[in-house]
Amino acid sequence: MGHIEQYRQFTSALYGFERKKSSLYTDYRFLAGYLIFSGSAESGKPRFLKKLSLLLLRFCFNIESTSHCIIRNIPYFPHPKNIINGARYIGANVVIYHNATLGAKRIDYQFNPSSRPRINDDVVLATGCVVLGGGEVAAGGIVKANEVRVTDK
């Protein structure tokens, strides 16, 4: 069971009713995930639409993302605010909480993928976490709140 299904079960237990799958897709949190996915390298959209998606993401949610990141599936943002995505890859069923930072350890204007983190499938990036360098977060991993992971790659 993925993290999004767990979230649906949690909210149904908390509020006493089950959210329909269609209501998840009309939520503003889904819009943030769709915009970051639309601006990714593998979205297949024209360059100006990618840039427009990332610009809307920046001004509506204060989320910065690179168009070089490969995003396999639409990530879920429970609180889509103040997120910096400079990762090289984000897998499926990834949950990213607010104030998370992913990126290179040193200034990297050319976007060298070996200096960027790789986030695999079913990962939870908790509030305030920082993942820097060319390391990898294993599938099913959890980066705890305010945890800092720095890799020397």
Kindly report, residue by residue over 4-18, the tens digit of the pLDDT: 566 666 556 555 555
Whole-number Cα distances in Å, 44 to 50, 51, 66? 9, 13, 15
Domain range for residue 8?
Answer: 3-150
**Cβ neighbour number for residue 117 with a 10 Å cutoff:** 27
Supply 81's token pair. Answer: 């605010």
CATH number, domain at 125?
Answer: 2.160.10.10
Going from the C-alpha of 101 to that of each of 19, 55, 66, 71, 81, the distances in angstroms are 30, 18, 12, 16, 11
What residue has token string 């990332």? 54
pLDDT digit string, tens, across residues 109-147? 899 999 999 999 999 999 999 999 999 999 999 999 999
Residue type, 46: P
| The 3-state secondary structure of the chain, one letter per residue | CCHHHHHHHHHHHHHCCCCCHHHHHCCHHHHHHHHHHHCCCCCCCCHHHHHHHHHHHHHHHCEEECCCCEECCCCECCCCCCEEECCCEECCCCEECCCCEEECCCCCCCCCHHHCCEECCCCEECCCCEEECCCEECCCCEECCCCEEECCC
CA–CA distance, 60 with 37 (Å, rounded to integer): 15
Number of domains comprising the chain: 1
- pLDDT digit string, tens, across residues 26-68: 567 777 887 888 888 877 888 888 889 899 999 989 999 999 9
